[in-house]
Structure 1
Amino acid sequence: MTTSPFPSAPLPSGSVERLAACKYVLLTTFRRDGRAVPTPVWVMRDGDCLAVWSVADAGKVKRIRNSGRVTVAPCDWRGTPKGESVSGVAELPAEQDTLHYLDLMKRKYGLVARVGLLGSRLKGPGHRTVGIRIRLTE
């Protein structure tokens, strides 16, 4: 794993466990002008952080590169919030962490994840994926 440029902060009791147990979370990233952009995503636990997987050229990845500020909340597959959001800081870790996140995703989501990954591979070599590490701060 790579060293995070973001300082560690105490976590609310059970937030990582609670969010990682969800099937979907609403990952909200922020545009340069401060507008929030919510996106429902699969989530996995990686130690004291949350892990998310995305296509490398997705808008959320661009916004995380610009500002790592995010919020995360439980939601359904459509993105309807099902609980309170928690603030966090997101970063794009090294490639070996992305591979680790793919393994975590396959374990948690099983066949559905494998089919989704196959679809990404069929789009061609220029269609890269990236892991997103989220450290909760609230």
Structure 2
Amino acid sequence: MNTQRFIAAVTTLVGLATATIGVWALFGPRSFADFAGFGFHEHFLHDIGAFQLGLGVTLLLAVLWSDALAAAMAGFFVANTAHTVNHVVDLDLGGSAWQAWVLGAVSVLIGVAFVLRLRQLGYVLGEVRTTTDPALAPFVRQKTILLTTFRKDGRPGSTPVSIAVDGGRAVVRSFEKSLKTRRLAHDPRVEFGPCSGFGTAPGTTHTGRMRRLSGEEHRRAARLLRRKYPLLHGVIVPLTHRIARAKTGRTVHFELVPERAAAPEPSDVGTEVASG
């Protein structure tokens, strides 16, 4: 087991254990107090549960997300929201209503700040790599692109897809029996540009070609997508492809190669210099 896997495994196990203890203290405070061997105070045990739950969620998200601030904000939101509920439910045990209102307001504020942080990150919370290719630079943190492929008669068909960039390469994922995979089998030309998850494309459209990957390149593309989209391409898409394999076929990956502007011919350069 390499170092990174060890770190992820330990953090995940501790996060799960901590969150489980939090749930136990929240919903079974008396049995938790008996187990821990301390005196019983229902509200404070509820609060211990809220904070333990928040700590556990923070650790689990830190394994999945590359942005420490987003993980900390999400964990705090969970803990503080549970804390707010405790003050409402336990109002007959003590405290004041204004305390619950203040805690609730803090949760609202941190929730708004979290959404703003997501917008700063382009809603991409996984690991992103760098690129030295100017044509791919706008897509390093881009969540979704609109990929246009072409039918045999030349008519276009467009689909929103996820993209991952590393160095001078960009990769996308599909499944074997999809329309775009069948189109690319006879015509690798594509047009692509940034878009929302609903397919709205506000940015510039680029042209390029697609190359289907196999072997180690196929596996490397899967890793890149999984790191950038831990939940979507680490769990949801692979599980969906596996369940529907009889209908969709196997998962496939493509390298997206942007077309570069043609370099000027030497004779053209000489003519421009002479005319200058």
Secondary structure in structure 1 of the residue aligned to 2:238: helix
Higher RCO (CA 8 Å, separation ≥ 6 residues): 1
Instruction: Report how far residue 125 of structure 1 moved.
Output: 6.8
User: Hey, what does 1:94 align to over in structure 2?
Assistant: 214
Secondary structure in structure 2 of the residue aligned to 1:57: coil
User: Hey, what does 2:152 align to over in structure 1?
Assistant: 32
The residue type equivalent to 1:48 in the other structure is G
User: Hey, what does 2:120 align to over in structure 1?
Assistant: none
User: Hey, what does 2:253 align to over in structure 1?
Assistant: 131
- Structure 1 Cα separation of the partners of residues 150 and 244 of structure 2: 28
Equivalent pairs, count: 126
Counterparts of 1:46-85 in structure 2, within 5 Å, are 46-85=166-205
Q: Which runs of 5+ in 2 are unaligned?
A: 1-132, 261-276
| Cα distance per residue 1:30-76 (max 9 Å; x no partner) | 11111111110000114322100101111101111101100110000
Instruction: Report how far residue 124 of structure 1 moved.
Output: 4.2
Counterparts of 1:100-119 in structure 2, within 5 Å, are 100-113=220-233, 114-119=235-240
- Structure 1 Cα separation of the partners of residues 245 and 160 of structure 2: 24
User: Hey, what does 2:96 align to over in structure 1?
Assistant: none
Greater fraction strand: 1
Normalising by structure 1, we get a TM-score of: 0.83
User: Hey, what does 2:274 align to over in structure 1?
Assistant: none
Greater fraction helix: 2
| Cα distance per residue 1:76-95 (max 9 Å; x no partner) | 01111020111001111223
User: Hey, what does 1:7 align to over in structure 2?
Assistant: none
Identity %: 29
- Structure 2 Cα separation of the partners of residues 124 and 44 of structure 1: 23
Q: CA contact under 8 A between 1:39 and 1:79: conserved in structure 2?
A: yes
- Structure 1 Cα separation of the partners of residues 150 and 245 of structure 2: 29
1:27 to 1:83, Cα distance in 2 relative to 1, 3 A: same
Normalising by structure 2, we get a TM-score of: 0.43
More moved, 114-123 vs 80-89: 114-123
The residue type equivalent to 2:242 in the other structure is R
Secondary structure in structure 2 of the residue aligned to 1:15: coil
User: Hey, what does 1:8 align to over in structure 2?
Assistant: none
RMSD: 1.7
Secondary structure in structure 1 of the residue aligned to 2:146: strand
User: Hey, what does 1:41 align to over in structure 2?
Assistant: 161
Q: CA contact under 8 A between 1:65 and 1:91: conserved in structure 2?
A: no
Secondary structure in structure 2 of the residue aligned to 1:132: strand
